[in-house]
Amino acid sequence: MSDKESLRARALHYHSNPTPGKIALALTTSAENADDLALAYSPGVGEPVKDIAANPEKAYEYTSKGNLVGVISNGTAILGLGNLGALASKPVMEGKALLFKRFANVDCFDIEVMTEDADEFVQTVARIAVTFGGINLEDIGAPACFDIEKRLKAMLDIPVFHDDQHGTAIVTAAGLLNALTLRGTELSDAKIVCLGAGSAAIAILKLLSVLGASKENIYVLDSKGVCHTDRDDLSIYKQEFAQKTNKRTLQDACQDADVFIGVSGANLMDGDSLMAMAANPVVFAMANPDPEITPEAARAIRDDVIMATGRSDYANQVNNVLCFPFMFRGALDVRATDINEEMKMAAVRAISELAKEPVPAEVIAAYENVDHLEFGRDYIIPKPMDPRLYSRVSSAVAQAAIDSGVARLKTLPNYDEPLKQ
């Protein structure tokens, strides 16, 4: 059996055993006798109903709303598999719910919406949003995802977060800041090439711009080459990063570049383009499952490269699980009405700074064939199994929500307490 066949067999067994799927509901209070049932349902349930009707904020006190996130998709951009429909996205949405629960004790309902029409999708989510403390959008194709998120954020008074955009951007930015630190370069001075112009790419570049990157130093390439101002086929999202330039190819764009960000496809970064980059190039090749260039191939071409990928079998994995559970944990804990730029930047800095600290033995023990982790070329991003992410990122996000005025509650919980499951 090949490695691919073995993975398929193990994955299908995992998703079907011991029961189909990966998540289930659990009771949080007693239901052992007639009195319990009379309180849980009629007649006792009428009392919180009346209180919530009089004061909607009471829903946070008497229901699960405050710790409940809707993980919602229409299946139009599932992983790297494409538009396979709403039902096919359900294993991914359940997996997202598993990660929310495992890493931040956030409860989730996965919801798959059978429409590719943006208006219908927005209307559906808006009508059910009252159930939740936050909405995580997932696997929605571009450019519709931009419009959907923007409209829902304007309509709702709870956090709305498209993780494929912003989770990827936050973790990428955290790792990139550390990589630039190693080569002694300020973000504002960095020359950046981005191969790919979809939702993740645009979100990464927007966040880097907020953090201090200069748009004049950013070159974006789509399937037709460099996005330049003479092209008449660019979407409004690509136009924001279009340059007035004679550069047309990846190799042109990579000349003396400090950073390559790949969110495109396998094996699209060629050796000549890599060789054209400046000394100690930072290469984030994040296409999944196969990167734009593998670390082995990159280091065979030049040995000064600082690499990150989206894969767990290489050092420096850009993994959204470093962000989204704790982004929502912090937002929910202070009843934030939004996830804003200040909260995203706080998450970037918290993740980035954690990688510079000594790594506990329990983190190293969680990874086979790893006996040492220390800030440097092979460790610029924390490991997903680092329990400190819960306290560091959640608290940073919650504090940023308070400081930026989007928090209903003004006191931080005690994140130093062990995570409760």
pLDDT tens digit sequence for 211-232: 999 999 999 999 999 999 999 9
**Residue 330 within any structural domain of the chain:** no
Binning pLDDT at 50, 70 and 90, where does residue 171 land? very high
Binning pLDDT at 50, 70 and 90, where does residue 417 land? low
421 pLDDT above the threshold of 80: no
Q: What is the mean pLDDT of residues 32-50?
A: 95
Whether residues 149 and 204 share a domain: the answer is no
- Examine the fold and report which residue of 111, 141, 158 is the final residue of a domain before the chain moves on: 158
Helix axes 324-333, 90-104, angle to 10 degrees: 60
Binning pLDDT at 50, 70 and 90, where does residue 163 land? very high
Whether residues 132 and 206 share a domain: the answer is no
Whether residues 11 and 144 share a domain: the answer is yes
Whether residues 201 and 87 share a domain: the answer is no
Name the DSSP class of 329: H
Signed CA dihedral, 253, 255, 261, 263: sign only: positive
**Residue 90 within any structural domain of the chain:** yes
**Residue 240's domain spans which residues?**
191-309
- The count of domains in the chain is 2
Instruction: Give the tens place of pLDDT for each residue, 11-20.
Output: 999 999 999 9
pLDDT of residue 142: 87
What are the DSSP calls for 147-166, one per residue?
HHHHHHHHH-SS-EEEHHHH
Per-chain mean pLDDT for the chain: 95
Whether residues 150 and 212 share a domain: the answer is no
Whether residues 104 and 248 share a domain: the answer is no
pLDDT of residue 178: 98
* Domain CATH code at residue 201: 3.40.50.720
pLDDT of residue 313: 86
Residues classed as catalytic: 41, 96
**Residue 335 within any structural domain of the chain:** no
Q: How far apart are CA 396 and CA 393, in angstroms?
A: 5
pLDDT of residue 420: 64
194 pLDDT above the threshold of 70: yes
**Residue 343 within any structural domain of the chain:** no
Q: Which helix (H) or strand (E) is 328 found in, with range?
A: helix 324-333
- Examine the fold and report which residue of 309, 336, 371 is the final residue of a domain before the chain moves on: 309
Whether residues 43 and 152 share a domain: the answer is yes
**Residue 277 within any structural domain of the chain:** yes
Q: How far apart are CA 311 and CA 116, in angstroms?
A: 30
* Domain CATH code at residue 110: 3.40.50.10380
